[in-house]
Amino acid sequence: MLSMNNINKVFRTDLVETTALRDFNLTIDEGDFVSVTGPSGSGKTTFLNIAGLLETYTSGQYVLDGTDVSNLSDRQRSHLRNEKIGFIFQSFNLIPDLNLYDNVDVPLRYRGFSKQERHKRITQSLERVGLANRMKHLPAQLSGGQQQRVAIARALAGEPRFLLADEPTGNLDSQMAKSVMALLQEINQQGTTIVMVTHDPELAMQTSKNVFVRDGQISEHETLVPVALASNQ
Amino acid sequence: MKTNLEFGPICRALLRNKVGAVLIALQIALTMTIVVNAIFIIVERQALMQRESGIDEANSFYLTSTGFGNDFEPKRVIEQDLDVIRNTPGVIDAIQINAIPISGGGWSMSLTTEPGDDQEDVSTANYFVDAHGINALDLEVIAGRNFTATDIRWRERNQPDWPDNAMITKALAEKLFPDIPWQSVVGKTVYIGDDEPVIVTGIVDKLQAPWIGWSELENAMLSPEKMVSESTRYFIRTEPGERDRLMAELEDTLANAYGNRLIRNVTTVTETRERSYRQHSAMIKILSTVMVLLTLITAMGIIGLTSFNVNRRRKQIGTRRALGASKQAIVRYFMLENVIISTTGILLGVAMTIGLNMLLIEWFAMTALDWYYIPAGMVVLFVVGQLAVLGPALKAAATPPAIATRTV
């Protein structure tokens, strides 16, 4: 599904050169629910950005669902992002001037679906997160947990091969975080591969695999053993 | 990849955040109203300025000779002067004349086609010229004949009567006798001062009156007369390129030829035209400046609003990019947003443009706007809007998608 081989990412300014990822190697299989943990500044977000084709890398090879993305143009990367990846952001990133329906519609329009197809997908995905009855509401009229559910609906509407979640519960209280996590697990059980960046070891323990990142590399000995995996062992 | 235009979502978003968009739409409407009406006024004024006077303006000038002293003999001096001027190399011809076309000052009178004070009259400018008038003014006799030496008489100061014959412009012939071909006006009698008959012996192609704002500007009559006056005006037509040299030369020559007089006001017809149309050209400059400034201000308003929106929506743009928007899609989003705002402003502008034109017609007796000014104005403002939004839109498209994952 996702394979990174010796990925390096170096940020350069006139004065400073910072290596965010160093010989980063990771393979994620289809159906995995992978949590990425690590301290602040360890390279988690850089990994997420590269995995989500939001950023390019300095060297190495990244194959996403069979496509080597190294030499893709910006337009091709946008296309691939739209078709294969669903994003869930920490601060939801809903567009405040658009109602829920139009928010979920955003990636579908870039996909070029017909109006009927978009309507079907929007309705289905909002139903899936339990917000179909509020599709004309603006994001500001919803709670944080509901907004994150809309973001999940937006990510799911395009039926992506995998979801990238950046601290999806970071801005939510524990009750809402629990419900969002439950929703993500349900989505994963239905076959969608999920990569989730989180600070929260408790959440990481609920995934099928954990990757601990420190200083731009995977730190094998710090890797958590998720609950499901531990019980199998 | 086929992308759906976001017309509906943009409209709905604009309706929720309408202050800036409404202000820009109003600015576009106001700009269109003023620009379209200003262009119309400019074009009208330019057309007025481009009207031909009928004379050889580029190669003509005039001067005033004012004699003094008890022994000053106007007739003799005028005859001598004209003889000297006409025999100066480079001069095509010269006449004594009472008024200069398009200069702002002259004689006018009313003509009727039947005697009596209850007849409908036609106003005309009146020029006193001799048989050299046609050549000096560079006119063409298109029907009838030119004056001969025997037609010419001397007009004494305050002499009330008129010569027996005259030449008139084609425009005046058509006004006086609208029911017959203008060529047939030759030989017809017209009446000055209700009952003094004058026979039209010739028709000239074109000669404007001295007053450029006069509705009867094309009406002119040539009367075969020379004036007995201490102060007289000579109109001189030169060979091409000789005018400026001859202005200086003849001023000296005439001053030296007879001591007891002053030669003054040596002026080209070109200068006269510039002076007469100064208000028009000033108006054109003012309106052009206003138009350019307004259009620039509107363009800057659009740039400002879009730039503000781009900065305000940076995270949104990054999110859109993350969700699959290509750079072109982002540019298209802002261009389409501007299309919606501009179209609203332009449509409002159409109504306001027509409204202002109606007011101008009512208040200043202007003519109605030609229909094609409105679509032309719409296109111009639409293009200005799209060009203005292009820079900020390209800046928006350069927003990296990774900004979506930044929490600050």
d(CA A204, CA B305): 44
Of B212, B198, B203, B199, nearest in space to B174 by CA = B203
So what's the pLDDT on residue A83? Answer: 93
Interface of A with B in 52-81 (CB under 8 A): 52-55, 74-75, 78-79, 81
* pLDDT tens-digit profile, chain A (233 residues): 899 999 999 998 888 889 999 999 999 999 999 999 999 889 999 999 999 999 999 999 999 999 999 889 999 999 999 999 999 998 899 999 999 999 999 999 999 999 999 999 999 999 989 999 999 999 999 999 899 999 999 999 999 988 999 989 888 888 888 888 998 999 999 989 999 999 888 888 899 999 999 999 998 777 777 666 555 55
Testing the interface with B: which of A11, A36, A49 to mutate, by most B Cβ within 10 A?
A49
Radius of gyration of chain A from its Cα atoms, rounded to whole angstroms: 18
Contact B322 A75 (CB under 8 A): no
- What is the CA B43 to chain-centroid distance, rounded? 7
Partner residue opposite A75 with nearest CB, options B9, B326, B401? B326
CA distance B337 to B343: 10
Per-residue pLDDT, A227: 65
The whole-angstrom distance between A75's CA and the closest CA on chain B is 5
Taking only the tens place, the pLDDT of each residue in B143-154 is 999 999 999 999
**B interface test, pick of A11, A54, A166 with most B CB neighbours within 10 Å:** A54
Q: Kindly determine whether residue B322 and residue A87, on different chains, have CB atoms separated by under 8 Å.
A: yes
pLDDT in tens, B8-38: 999 988 988 889 899 999 999 999 999 999 9
CB crowding B375-398: b at 16 or more within 10 Å, else e: eebbebbbebbeebbbebbebbbe
Task: State whether residue B270 is helix, strand or coil.
Answer: helix
- pLDDT of B407 > 80? The answer is no
Q: Name A5's bridge partners.
A: A61
3-state DSSP assignment of residue B152: coil
CB contact, 8 Å: A157 with chain B?
no
Q: Is the pLDDT of residue B404 over 90?
A: no
Question: CA-to-CA distance for B222 and B139, rounded, in angstroms?
Answer: 11
Task: Give yes or no for B175 touching A (CB within 8 A).
Answer: no
A125 interface with B at CB cutoff 8 Å: no
Q: Which two tokens stand for residue B119?
A: 């007849």
**CB–CB of B237/B133 below 8 Å?**
no
Please name the residue of chain A whose CA is at the shortest distance from the CA of residue B15: A97
Q: Which residue of B has its CA nearest to A82?
A: B324
* Best CA proximity match to B220, nearest among B209, B210, B233: B209
- The pLDDT score that the predictor gives to residue B2 is 57
B327/A75 CB distance under 8 A: yes
Which H or E run contains B65?
Answer: strand B60-67
pLDDT of residue A31: 92
CA B70 – CA B235 distance, rounded (Å):
26
Give the minimum alpha-carbon distance from A12 to chain B in angstroms, rounded to a whole number. Answer: 16
Collapsed DSSP state (helix, strand, coil) of residue B146: coil
Give the tens place of pLDDT for each residue, B244-266.
999 999 999 999 988 889 999 99
Quickly list DSSP for B156-221: PTT-----SEEEEEHHHHHHH-TTS-GGGGTT-EEEETTTEEEEEEEEES----S-TT-TTTT-EE
Nearest to A74 among B315, B322, B327 (CB): B327
Which pLDDT score is estimated for B339?
A: 94
Average pLDDT over every residue of B198-204: 97
Residue B157 pLDDT level (bands cut at 50, 70, 90): confident
**CA-based nearest residue in chain B for residue A111:** B3
> Residue B181: what pLDDT?
96
What is the per-residue pLDDT across B64-113, written as a single tens digit (0 to 9) for each? Answer: 999 988 888 999 999 999 999 999 999 999 999 999 999 999 999 999 99
A48 neighbourhood in chain B, CB within 8 Å? 405
Q: What is the per-residue pLDDT for A1?
A: 81
Contact (CB, 8 A) for B144 and B201: yes
- State the Cα–Cα distance between residues B376 and B154, nearest whole angstrom: 58
Residue in chain A nearest B8 by alpha carbon: A102
Name chain A contacts of B399, Cβ cutoff 8 Å. Answer: none
Query: What 3 state SS string does chain A have?
Result: CEEEEEEEEEEECCCCEEEEEEEEEEEECCCCEEEEECCCCCCHHHHHHHHCCCCCCCEEEEEECCEECCCCCHHHHHHHHHHHEEEECCCCCCCCCCCHHHHHHHHHHHHCCCHHHHHHHHHHHHHHCCCHHHCCCCHHHCCHHHHHHHHHHHHHHCCCCEEEEECCCCCCCHHHHHHHHHHHHHHHHCCCEEEEECCCHHHHHCCCEEEEEECCEECHHHCCCCHHHHHHC
The whole-angstrom separation of Cα A197 and Cα A180 is 14
- Are residues B404 and A89, on separate chains, in Cβ contact within 8 Å? yes
Q: How many CA atoms lie within 13 A of A205 on its CB side?
A: 6
Q: How many CB atoms lie within 10 A of CB B85?
A: 23
CB-nearest to A112 from B1, B12, B322 is B1
CA of B312, closest CA in chain A: separation in Å? 12
**Other beta carbons less than 10 A from residue B270's beta carbon:** 14
Q: Which amino acid is at B358?
A: M
Q: Answer whether B401 sits within 8 Å of A82, measured CB to CB.
A: no
Chain A contact for B4 (CB, 8 A cutoff): yes
- From residue B215, how far is each of B48, B63, B211 by CA, in Å? 12, 28, 9
- Looking at every residue in chain B, the average pLDDT score rounds to 93
Tell me the count of A-B CB pairs closer than 8 A: 103
Nearest to B323 among A75, A110, A112 (CB): A110
Cα separation, B123 vs B118, whole angstroms = 15
Residue A71 has what pLDDT? 87
Residue B408, pLDDT above cutoff 70: no
At residue A13, the pLDDT reads 87
Q: Closest to A97 (Cβ–Cβ): which among B3, B17, B328? A: B17
d(CA B192, CA B195): 6
**CA of A226 to nearest chain B CA: how many angstroms apart?**
25
Residues of chain B contacting A54 with CB distance shorter than 8 Å: 321-322, 400-402, 404-405
Instruction: Name the token pair of B359.
Output: 């007011």
Place of tokens 């040299």: B245
Residues of A with CB below 8 A from B17's CB? 97
User: In chain B, pLDDT over 90 holds for what percent of residues?
Assistant: 86
Which pLDDT does position B117 carry in this prediction? 80
Where b means 16+ CB within 10 Å and e means fewer, A14-39 reads eeeeebbbeebebebeeebbbbbbbe
pTM above 0.90, yes or no: no
Neighboring chain A residues of B319 at a CB cutoff of 8 Å: 89, 93, 95
* pLDDT of B338: 93
Where residue B365 falls among pLDDT bands split at 50, 70, 90? Answer: confident
B359 CA to chain A: closest CA distance, Å? Answer: 41
Residue B173 has a CB neighbour count (10 Å cut-off) of: 27
Predicted confidence (pLDDT) at residue B1 exceeds the cutoff of 60 = no
